[in-house]
Amino acid sequence: MHKLKKKINSLQVKCPNEQNGCPALFPLLRSEEHAESCAFGLVVCTNDGCPAQVMRKDIGDHSQSCEYWSEMCHMGCGALLTPANRDQHNCYMELKETYNKQLHKLRQKARRMESLSSQMSRQIQLLSEVLEGTEEAEGVLLKWL
Ligand SMILES: [Zn+2]
Ligand SMILES: [Zn+2]
Ligand SMILES: [Zn+2]
């Protein structure tokens, strides 16, 4: 009896997914193991509401084109992306990021201008102090006028 069981278990069987194209041949004992990983076994699409049953080897392709595919926008804007809108999803988070970068640049520019103009007004101040303070400067000033 025991021997028979052993014999049965070591019997080479064909994969039940043979009609789907699976060429596997394995001991009966292994059939469960194989069924779980068989590339030709049918699996259900994990996308919510999708009725598709595809072979395990095709599930990757399927979920890329599955019309039930959906995913929250990775930018964190809260939008649910679907195949219908993912290509034209104009993410405002992305816009915001670009806007913030530009704003940052503008602020830097403004700061540079500010320090430049305060440098200039300091120089003008100094110049006028010098000019007011000396007779020589008065002469220069007169020539200019
Ligand atoms: Zn198989
Ligand atoms: Zn699907
Ligand atoms: Zn988004």
Protein residues with C-beta less than 5 angstroms from the ion ligand 3: 73, 75, 77, 79, 91
Alpha-carbon distance of 17 to 54, in angstroms, equals 12
How would you write the pLDDT of the chain (145 residues) with one tens digit per residue?
678 888 877 789 999 999 999 999 999 889 999 999 999 999 999 988 999 999 999 999 998 889 898 889 988 899 999 888 888 898 988 888 888 999 999 999 999 999 998 888 888 888 887 777 766 666 665 666 6
Strands (E), 35-85: 42-44, 53-55, 71-72, 80-81
Instruction: Find the 68 Cα to ligand 1 centroid distance in Å.
Output: 27
Instruction: Give the global pTM.
Output: 0.51
The candidate with the shortest Cα–Cα distance to 89, out of 101, 76, 105, 108, is 76
Q: Do 40 and 55 form a contact (C-beta atoms < 8 A)? A: yes
Instruction: Find the 20 Cα to ligand 1 centroid distance in Å.
Output: 9
Q: What are phi and psi of 80, to 5 degrees?
A: -95, 115
The candidate with the shortest Cα–Cα distance to 11, out of 32, 1, 24, 25, is 25
